[in-house]
């Protein structure tokens, strides 16, 4: 990892990586502002890109922006910057979802540096998967996800403050029955073509259901999607209905995923970086 200077080209390339994130209906509901004096990115909600019908409370907007925030952290680490991140830093400005201050990595001899440097390497290692990750719409092969890979995905979600679990087949059917695809897709595609059994379903949840939890869930989603991509897995995403998101449930479901092996999916388009980035 060679330390780079923060010129316009580098800042643009970091934001380009951020915008490869998934978002509901590919709405790309984000804006970035780079404050050169403090080497700090602001990640903002783009209210002109929100979807009031499909996403009345802004949960999906937060999930998508947080997935982009996670990519920004990965790209910064790959460029040898320590991304010091704060979520919802200004209580008077709820559209300011996060700030990411770029700092040089600590010298290895400094107390606590080993942990920070290991965290940086873990993030940087995910960089190649940013370009490879795609939401799959293909039928999945009837092939289980190995237990050790499932453990890595659970760990990925935990690291970002969310939980991932793999419901047993009986519960998976119930989840599918109660789920409703936010993009109107037929959830029959969530079953394998071979056996009619649900493919490996995974449920991403948080303990509470506030904007802060959505930001944690979105970063957890992207971290686990990048880990999955690195292990050759495909993922399909579907949103849930409120019927099984009871206010007092111990787990607040944020996303249903189907994980497995599928043919490659085509890339989807992104808005050009100059439309979403302002540099001060």
Ligand X SMILES: Cc1cc2nc3c(=O)[nH]c(=O)nc-3n(C[C@H](O)[C@H](O)[C@H](O)COP(=O)(O)O)c2cc1C
What sign results for the dihedral spanned by CA atoms 222, 228, 234, 240?
negative
Asked if 63 touches ligand X (CB under 6 A), the answer is yes
d(CA 225, CA 80): 22
| Cβ 54 to ligand X shortest distance, Å | 9
d(CA 10, CA 70): 17
Q: Beta-strand (E) ranges in the chain?
A: 30-35, 40-45, 82-87, 96-103, 163-165, 200-206, 234-238, 252-260, 277-279
Q: Tell how strand 200-206 and strand 234-238 pair up.
A: unpaired
CA distance to 150, 199, 252, per residue, from 207 (Å): 21, 25, 6
| Cβ 187 to ligand X shortest distance, Å | 9
Asked if 204 touches ligand X (CB under 6 A), the answer is no
**How many alpha carbons fall within 13 Å on the CB side of residue 188?**
3
Q: How many residues bind ligand X (CB under 6 A)?
A: 19
Asked if 38 touches ligand X (CB under 6 A), the answer is no
* Contact letters for ligand X, residues 173-202 (x by CB under 6 A): --------xxx-x-----------------
Nearer of residues 24 and 199 to ligand X, judged by Cβ: 24
Nearer of residues 147 and 269 to ligand X, judged by Cβ: 269
Q: Which residue is nearest to ligand X (CB)?
A: 22
239, 254 contact by CB (below 8 A):
no
Cβ neighbours, 10 Å, residue 124: 19
Binder among 43, 60, 77, 100 for ligand X (CB under 6 A): 60
∠ Cα 60 227 63 (to 5°): 10
Nearer of residues 104 and 272 to ligand X, judged by Cβ: 272
| Cβ 148 to ligand X shortest distance, Å | 25
Binder among 36, 121, 193, 268 for ligand X (CB under 6 A): 268
Asked if 102 touches ligand X (CB under 6 A), the answer is no
Nearer of residues 84 and 88 to ligand X, judged by Cβ: 88
Binding interface with ligand X (CB under 6 A): 22-26, 60, 63-64, 67, 134-135, 181-183, 185, 237-239, 268
């Amino acid at each position: 990892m060679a330390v780079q200077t923060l010129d316009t080209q580098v800042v643009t390339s970091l934001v380009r990586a951020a915008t490869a994130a998934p978002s509901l209906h590919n709405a790309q509901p984000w804006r970035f502002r780079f404050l050169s004096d403090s080497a700090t990115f602001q990640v903002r909600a783009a209210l002109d890109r929100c979807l009031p019908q499909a996403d009345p409370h802004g949960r999906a907007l937060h999930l998508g922006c947080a997935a982009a925030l996670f990519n920004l952290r990965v790209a910064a680490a790959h460029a040898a910057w320590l991304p010091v991140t704060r979520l919802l830093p200004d209580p008077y400005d709820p559209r300011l979802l996060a700030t990411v201050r770029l700092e040089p990595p600590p010298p290895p001899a400094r107390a606590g540096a080993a942990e920070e440097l290991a965290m940086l390497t873990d993030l940087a290692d995910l960089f190649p998967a940013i370009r490879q990750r795609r939401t799959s719409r293909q039928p999945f092969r009837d092939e289980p996800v190995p237990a050790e890979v499932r453990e890595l995905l659970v760990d990925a979600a935990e690291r970002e403050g969310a939980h991932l679990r793999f419901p047993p087949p009986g519960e998976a059917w119930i989840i599918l029955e109660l789920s409703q695809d936010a993009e109107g897709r037929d959830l029959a595609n969530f079953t394998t073509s071979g056996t009619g059994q649900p493919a490996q379903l995974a449920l991403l949840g948080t303990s509470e259901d506030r904007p802060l939890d959505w930001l944690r869930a979105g970063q957890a989603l992207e971290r686990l999607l990048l880990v999955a991509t690195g292990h050759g897995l495909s993922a399909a995403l579907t949103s849930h209905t409120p019927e099984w998101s009871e206010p007092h449930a111990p787990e607040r479901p944020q996303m249903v995923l189907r994980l497995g092996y599928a043919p490659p999916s085509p890339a989807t388009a992104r808005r050009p970086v100059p439309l979403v980035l302002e540099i001060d």
